[in-house]
Structure 1
Amino acid sequence: MRIYVLGATGHIGSYLVPRLVRAGHEVVAASRGTREAYHPDPAWDDARRVVLDRDASDAEGTTAAQVLAERPDAVVDLVCFTPDSARQLVEGLRGEVGLLAHCGSIWSHGLSTSLPMEEDDPKHPFGEYGVGKQAIEDLLLAESASSGGLPCTVVHPGHISGPGWRVINPVGNVDPRVWATIARGEELTVPGDASATMHHVHADDVAQVFELALQRPEASVGEAFHAVSARALTVRGFAEAAYAWWGHEARLRPVTWEQFRAEAGDEHAGTSWEHLHRSQVCSISKPQSRLGYEPGWTSDAAAHEAVAWLAAHDEEHDLPAPA
C-alpha cells in the first residue's frame, strides 16, 4: 500500500514509518518539518518526506487535499486532537482512501468501573483531552459503520515511553528530580497509598498495533484497540522496579495530595493527579486475538529504556545510568 502518516516524526511515527517501509509499503511521512524522528533508522531513507503543519492546514481547510495529493491507499493520523479536525479529514477522505487509522488515548475511558478495562466498556471521560479523544472515537466509528462511510479504526495508546523524551515516572509526572532521588536511593514522596496504577507502553508497540491494523483491515475496520503493555504497574510496583535499577530497596513516604503538591509544585502535582486519579488498567485481549498483537516491552522495560536515554542526555540532573 501507499500509506500517508500524519505526525510522522513524533513518538509513534518515529517507529511506525520504519516498520511500514520494512514491510514493503510506500510511505509518505508528513510532519511540520521542525525536527527529525526520535531515533535514526536507515528505513527513513526510503520514505517520502513532506511538510504539513496540521494546525495551519486545518485552519485553511486544506488538510485532506494535501493528503490526497499524494494518492494514498490508507492514512494514519497521529496528530488529531479535536472532533472538528477529525471531521474535516473524514469528509475530505471519504470515498478516496481505504482506511483511516486514528491515534486516540486510553484517557478516553476516564474513570474505570471494572478492571482491566475493555475497549467497549462504558466510558466516562473528563478533561479536555480525554473528552475530545472520546468524541473523535465516536465520530470515526459511526462514520465507519455508515453506508458509504470512510473505513476507520482507532488505536488507544497508554503512557507512551521510549528513548528521546521524558517518560511518566513512578509518581505519575515527568519531573526528572524523581529519577535522581531514586538513583541515589533516597526517600521518595508519593501521593496517597501508592496503589494507583499506570499503564505504560513502548512507542514501538503502539506502532506495532497500527501496522497490524493496516495489514488486517478485515479485523480492524470499525473497531478500537488498546495499545499498552501486557500489565500495568502500581506506583509502588513501578517504584520498586526503578529503585532496583540502581541497586536500592524502595523507600517511599506516602503523603496527602495537599502535602505532595506543596513539595512537588503545582505543575508536577497536577500531572501526577491526571495520571494517578484515573488509575487505569487496560486489557489487550482484543488486539491480541483480532490482530495478533504481542507487546515487545513490559511497562518497566519501556520506562527503563527511556530513563537510560535520559541519563545519557540530561546533564543538568547528573543522572547515573540505570543497570
Structure 2
Amino acid sequence: MATQHPNALTRALAELPGPLPAFGVIHIAIPHTSRFTIVGNHLAQHAELSLVAIGIGVHIQSLPVGSLVGIKALTARFAEGEMRIAAALRELEAHGYLRRAHVRLANGRMATRTVFCNQPGALERAGRVVVAPKVPPAVPEEAPAVPEEAPAPPPAPEPDPVPESHPPVRVPPRTAPKPPRRPLPQPRELTPELRQTASAILADLRNHAEALVLSEADVEELVPGVAAWLEREVRPDAIRHALTTDLPKPPKYPAKIVRHRLTTLLPPPLPGAEELAPAARRPLVIPLQNCDGCDRAFRSREPGHCRGCRDLAAAA
C-alpha cells in the first residue's frame, strides 16, 4: 500500500482560492504535460449513458489509431463480461459516439471499420462525411480509427469531397441476428444409472470451481447433456475437467457456461473394434488362361500363348 502524505494534501487544500465547500467533492487540478486526453463533459456527464458506457467511451477516446476496440479485445482488458461490454458499445453507437461500417478492401473482402467521434453533435452540424481510409490487403477485421487527442472538427460551409475510389461509410441500421442456440446433447436412453451419475457430477462442480454453483433446476435441466457424455464413455474426471478449466472471471451465468461447454465440446463416440482393425489385404490372384496353341493352362491377366509356345515361336 502506498504511503500517504497528509501534509502535502493539507498544503494543497490551503492554496485553493476561495472558501472550501462544506460537503461534496473538492478538485485539486494539476495541469497535465504528457499522456492526457481531452474529454468533453457531454460524454463524462452524459445523462442517458450508463457508467460502463461512459468509461468505455473515455477509454476508446484515449487509444491511438489502430487499437482494437472490439468486444473480445475489451473483454480481455477489463473485468466486465462480454454482455455488459456489448451493451455499452450499443449505447455509444445509439448516441452517435461509435460508428461501425462495412467497407470493401482491395482484395474484394468486406471488413468492419470502427470510428469513434468525440463530438457527435458537432459532426452532424458540420455536415461532414466520414470517409473510410484506404487500407492494405492484410488488415485486421476490426480496426478502429481513434485519435489520441481528438480535437473538435472545425465547421465547414460545404461537405468534404468524397473520392470516387472510396465510398462514404454506411452505418448499418442494426446488428446481424444471432444464430440459433444449439440444442443440449441428449443420450439415446436416460437410464436411472446415467441420471444419478450425471446429477452427482453437476452438483459436485462447485467443489472444483467455486463459481459453478448450480441450482436444483439447473442440474435437472443439464442432466441429459452430461448423460450424453457418459454414454460416449467419457470418464467423470474428464467431464469435470472440461467444465471447470479456464473459466471466465467472474463467471456470471454458471448454468449457461456449463450448457455451452456440454454442447460445443461434446466428443464423438468411440470407434468400435471393427473400425480400429486394419483392413485385411487381399492376395493378388492372376486368373488361369488356356493357351491358344497347346491348350495348356497358364496364369495371365489376358488370354494368349503359354511360355513354352512363346519360346518355340521365338526360336523359329
TM range (shorter): under 0.3
Q: Normalising by structure 2, what TM-score?
A: 0.22
Bigger relative CO (Cα 8 Å, ≥ 6 apart):
1
Q: Normalising by structure 1, what TM-score?
A: 0.22
